[in-house]
Amino acid sequence: MKVFYVNWWGVAGSLVGDLIIGDPKRFHPVCAIGKLIELTEKFLKTLINLGIKLGFSKAFLEKIGGVFLALVVCSATFSVSLVFICFLIKLCSFSFYGKIFSEIILILVASLFIALKGLIKAGKEVEDLVLISDLNSARDKLKALVGRDTEKLSEKEIRIAIIESLGENLNDGIIAPLFYFIVGGFPFLVLYKTVNTLDSMVGYKNEKYLNFGWFSAKIDDLFNFLPARLAGISIILASAMLLGLKNAKRAFKIMLRDGRKHLSPNSGIPEAAIAGALGIRIGGPNYYEGVLVEKPYIGESISEVNHLKVLLAQKIVLLSSFIFTIFSLLLREFLKQIL
């Protein structure tokens, strides 16, 4: 075991571990990261308010505060992850059984930073409510998956939201964490999840976080740039296996054509790929906190958005996760041999 390296069985085990265990309802490490962000934000906001009273520019102080928020939280979680992995390395040195035990601990803890089972389960719960025409409950449950206002969404719009969430969160919850786990071991896995959590909590372009969350949003865009494109490629490969070459070609075409239409430089890539694979149109105008946001449409309305499309989207996400993991580990082993 090394600080910035994890064996192939550690990566594969963490993905399988997530599918078996899922996310615990209590004592989740990402919740701890979120609490640290809240406390740090509260402290920095106090300092910002003090600076404003002293005559300093509010926008300037909020931007500086946002930088400090990201640096402090990322430094803290990265340091804790280093201490944790060093502890496991020390445990390995005691005996063969210590090595086995430390590997199991690493797999179990790392699996908590991957959200494949949780993503599939959350989408399924909403779709199950749509199937029994309990749209009010479906709209309420959908709030955990999307940021838009859900109170007036139709059956079709709810399903579009599920599919959009599956596409976007394939990257944020699975591909990107695995990518950084493979590239830099457990510390980089934790670092990525910290950056992603910062963006989800303070990266909004509203009055409250426009300046304070700008830095967190930018570094999240940077961290997700390559994984998002790998997620798109994984979707295309999964589509070829599940739906045939015609759908895979369409997924590739829509990804290239519409992937950059999204307000996010990264989220649109996997969303466009999955829309193309399914032959549906997603995106479009939606309300956020009562404000209409004119988002562009992604994809083409070749077929109807129905229950089957949601099931296929779930299968694509599952298969894409395994395709990415297998190909990434094989590529890493190949590069190790030639470098």
From the list 187, 9, 176, the residue with the least C-alpha distance to 85 is 187
Tell me if 1 is assigned to some domain: no
Residue 147 falls inside a structural domain? yes
pLDDT classification of 339: cutoffs 50, 70, 90: confident
Q: Is residue 294 part of a domain?
A: yes
Q: Give a yes or no: residue 2 inside a domain.
A: no
Which of 138, 117, 116, 119 has the alpha carbon at shortest distance from 307? 138
Q: Please report whether residue 168 resides in a domain.
A: yes
Q: Which residues contact 126 (CB under 8 A, 6 or more apart)?
A: 138, 141, 142, 145, 158, 162
Q: Is residue 3 part of a domain?
A: no
- The total domain count for the chain is 1
Average pLDDT for 50-57: 93
Residue 247 lies in a domain: yes
Distance CA 229, CA 205 (A): 24
| Cα(182)–Cα(107) distance, integer angstroms | 13
Query: Would you say residue 27 has pLDDT above 80?
Result: yes
With bands split at pLDDT 50, 70 and 90, how would you rate the model's confidence at 253?
Answer: very high
Mean pLDDT of 270-292: 92
User: Which residues have C-beta within 8 Å of that of residue 171, sequence separation ≥ 6?
Assistant: 224, 227, 228, 231, 266, 267, 269, 270
Residue that is written with structure tokens 């944020």 in the block = 172
Instruction: Give the range of the structural domain holding residue 222, as residue numbers without chain letter.
Output: 8-338
107-126 tens-digit pLDDT = 999 999 999 999 999 999 99
- Residue 171 in any domain: the answer is yes
Query: What are the φ/ψ torsions at residue 203 (nearest 5 degrees)?
Result: -85, 20
